[in-house]
């Protein structure tokens, strides 16, 4: 039993969190650092990523800084390559990737323009693909690593106006499963987390509509939204040796949203 006390520790490991300027990405960076990882906080908003890294360094209580900020634009293959080349040059290894960025255009499918489609697919699916390709190659070369993708309940259930977003989130799951199959023999694990409704900048428009906000809260068995920090536990689990035999999996962190058929309690 003695060895289990450190099974979640990430000391000596290098983690890249893409989307670390805010929301789930920022909390993921904080959580990974709290468990001992050196964290590269990357985002298209470089200033926000560097601020997250400074927060981590300040919270280190006098210990050497274990975080840094970096720029990445996942819609640009050269930018993604430059990010991981830089990590390799500075740290010599890559142990964890957390990929969080997504965009959404809420419109009925018949009103979707080609430009809307290209934007959502370009960031959510093609951007994630670029991260998988670059990080997967680095991890395969060192015969170890954990990749954590952010999918969504929308990979399973949809609603009007979410069709293209939902398609990308389902696609992310299948990309991750394919890479898990291809890189499993090389010691690389690939998994996805599927959150429900989470209080982040992406969901701010929903919060501004009380009827919409409350309807989503009621759909959860727990009767509320998730805070971004509630995704940290699952992320640390998948990053660490606690999940050493978990790959190709989708972990739903949705307050029971996808487990329950409706919210009416029938007489029993």
Indicate which residues carry an active-site annotation. 165
Quickly tell me which residue has 């908003």 as its tokens.
45
State the burial class of residue 164 (Cβ atoms within 10 Å of its Cβ: 0-12, 13-18, 19+): buried
209 phi and psi angles, rounded to 5 deg: -115, 105
The DSSP symbol for 32 reads H
* Distance, CA of 209 to chain centre: 26
Residues in contact with 30: Cβ distance below 8 Å, sequence separation at least 6, in sequence order: 52, 55, 56, 59, 229, 232
Check if the beta carbon of residue 38 is closer than 8 Å to that of residue 91. Answer: yes
**Structure-token pair, residue 146:** 């954990």
The conformation of residue 240, written as its DSSP 8-state character, comes to S
Cβ contact 192:150 at 8 Å: yes
Residue 211: exposed, middle, or buried by beta-carbon count in 10 A (0-12, 13-18, 19+)? exposed
């Amino acid at each position: 039993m003695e060895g289990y006390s450190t099974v979640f520790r990430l000391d000596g490991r290098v983690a890249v969190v893409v989307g670390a300027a805010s929301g789930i990405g920022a909390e993921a960076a904080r959580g990974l650092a709290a468990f001992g990882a050196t964290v590269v906080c990357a985002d298209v908003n470089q200033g926000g990523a560097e601020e997250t890294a400074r927060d981590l360094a300040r919270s280190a209580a006098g210990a050497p800084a274990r975080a840094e900020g970096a720029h990445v634009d996942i819609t640009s293959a050269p930018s993604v390559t430059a990010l991981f080349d830089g990590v390799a040059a500075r740290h010599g290894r890559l142990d964890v990737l957390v990929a969080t960025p997504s965009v959404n255009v809420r419109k009925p499918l018949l009103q979707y323009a080609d430009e809307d489609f290209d934007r959502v697919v370009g960031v959510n699916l093609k951007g994630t693909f670029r991260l998988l390709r670059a990080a997967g190659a680095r991890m395969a070369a060192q015969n170890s690593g954990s990749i954590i993708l952010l999918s969504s309940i929308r990979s399973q259930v949809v609603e009007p106006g979410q069709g293209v977003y939902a398609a990308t989130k389902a696609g992310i799951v299948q990309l991750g499963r394919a890479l898990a199959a291809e890189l499993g023999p090389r010691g690389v694990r690939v998994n996805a987390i599927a959150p429900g409704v989470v209080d982040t900048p992406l969901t701010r428009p929903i919060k501004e509509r009380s009827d919409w906000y409350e309807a989503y809260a009621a759909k959860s068995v727990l009767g509320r939204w998730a805070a971004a920090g509630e995704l940290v536990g699952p992320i640390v689990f998948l990053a660490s040796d606690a999940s050493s035999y978990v790959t190709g999996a989708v972990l739903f962190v949705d307050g029971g949203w996808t487990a329950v058929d409706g919210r009416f309690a029938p007489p029993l």
